[in-house]
Structure 1
Amino acid sequence: MRSSYLWAMAFCLAIAAWFASGNLEALGLAKNPPVSQEASAPASKQKKQLFRVEVRRFEASLRPSVIVVRGRTELEKKITVRARTSGIVEETAVREGDHVRAGDLLCRLDMRDRKAKLAQARAQLASARRDFEAARKLARIKFASRAKLASEQARLDAAKAAVEQINQDIGWTRITSPLTGIVIRLDGERGSFLQPGQPCAVVAVFDPLLVTAQVSERDIAKIRLGQKATARLVTGETITGRVTFIAPTSDLATRTFRVEAETANPGYRLRDGITAEISFPLKPEKAHLIPAGIISLNDAGETVVRTLGKGNRVVSMPVRLIAQTRQGAWVSGLPDKADIIIAGQDYVLDGQIVEPARSPASGSDKPS
Structure 2
Amino acid sequence: MSQSRRFLLMFCKAHILLLGAILILSGCDQQSPAKVRQPKPHLVEVLSAQPVDIELVRIRTGTLEAFQTINIYNQEEGIVTQIRSREGDTVRRDELLITLDDQLLSAQLQRARAVRQQAEKELQRISGLIKRNLTARSELTQKETDLAVARADEQVIATRLGYTRIKSPIDGVVTSRHTEPGNLAEKSSLLLTVADLDSLLLKVDISELLLNQLAIDMPVEIEIDALRTANRSNAFAVSGKVSRIYPTIDPATRSGTLEISLKPAPQGARPGQFARVKFQIPRQQVLLLPFASLRQSDNGSYVYIIDNEDTVRIRPLQTGLKAGEQIEVLAGLEPGDRVITRGFTNLKPGMQVTVVKRAADSQTDGTAAP
Structure 2 length normalisation: TM-score? 0.75
Cα 1:86–1:217 change in 2 (3 A) is same
Highest CA radius of gyration, 1 or 2?
1
Give, in angstroms, the shift of residue 314 of structure 1: 2.5
Structure 1 length normalisation: TM-score? 0.75
CA contact (8 A) 1:60 1:337 kept: no
Aligned partner of 1:308: which letter?
I
SS of 2:70's equivalent in the other structure is: strand
For 1:125, the equivalent position in structure 2 comes to 116
Choose which of 196, 204, 229 in structure 2 pairs with 1:205: 196
Cα 1:130–1:366 change in 2 (3 A) is closer
What is the CA–CA distance in structure 1 between the aligned matches of 2:40 and 2:114, rounded to whole Å?
116
**Gaps in structure 2 of 5+ consecutive residues:** 1-19, 227-234, 366-370
Q: What RMSD, in angstroms, separates the aligned Cα atoms of the two structures?
A: 3.5
Choose which of 300, 303, 311 in structure 1 pairs with 2:301: 303
What is the CA–CA distance in structure 1 between the aligned matches of 2:250 and 2:66, rounded to whole Å?
20
Cα 1:268–1:182 change in 2 (3 A) is farther
What is the CA–CA distance in structure 2 between the aligned matches of 1:344 and 1:268, rounded to whole Å?
56
Instruction: Verify: 1:269 aligned to 2:268, yes or no.
Output: yes
Of residues 172-181 and 182-191 in structure 1, the stretch that sits farther from structure 2 once superposed is 182-191
Cα 1:193–1:337 change in 2 (3 A) is same
Instruction: Verify: 1:180 aligned to 2:171, yes or no.
Output: yes
Cα 1:88–1:314 change in 2 (3 A) is same
For 1:30, the equivalent position in structure 2 comes to none
For 1:243, the equivalent position in structure 2 comes to 242
Instruction: Verify: 1:155 aligned to 2:146, yes or no.
Output: yes
Write the deviation string for residues 268-296 of structure 1: whole angstroms up to 9, x where unpaired. 62111223333444344434555443332
Give, in angstroms, the shift of residue 36 of structure 1: 4.0
Q: How many residues align?
A: 332
What is the CA–CA distance in structure 1 between the aligned matches of 2:45 and 2:265, rounded to whole Å?
58
Give, in angstroms, the shift of residue 223 of structure 1: 4.0
For 1:331, the equivalent position in structure 2 comes to 328
Write the deviation string for residues 152-188 of structure 1: whole angstroms up to 9, x where unpaired. 1122122222332332233222100111111111234
Aligned partner of 2:363: which letter?
K
CA contact (8 A) 1:206 1:268 kept: no
SS of 2:75's equivalent in the other structure is: coil
Cα 1:239–1:197 change in 2 (3 A) is same
Write the deviation string for residues 236-265 of structure 1: whole angstroms up to 9, x where unpaired. 333433333333345576554332222224
What is the CA–CA distance in structure 2 between the aligned matches of 1:224 and 1:285, rounded to whole Å?
16
For 2:360, the equivalent position in structure 1 comes to 361
Instruction: Verify: 1:196 aligned to 2:187, yes or no.
Output: yes
Instruction: Verify: 1:112 aligned to 2:103, yes or no.
Output: yes
Instruction: Verify: 1:63 aligned to 2:54, yes or no.
Output: yes
What is the CA–CA distance in structure 2 between the aligned matches of 1:176 and 1:96, rounded to whole Å?
16
Cα 1:95–1:225 change in 2 (3 A) is same
For 2:92, the equivalent position in structure 1 comes to 101
SS of 2:348's equivalent in the other structure is: coil
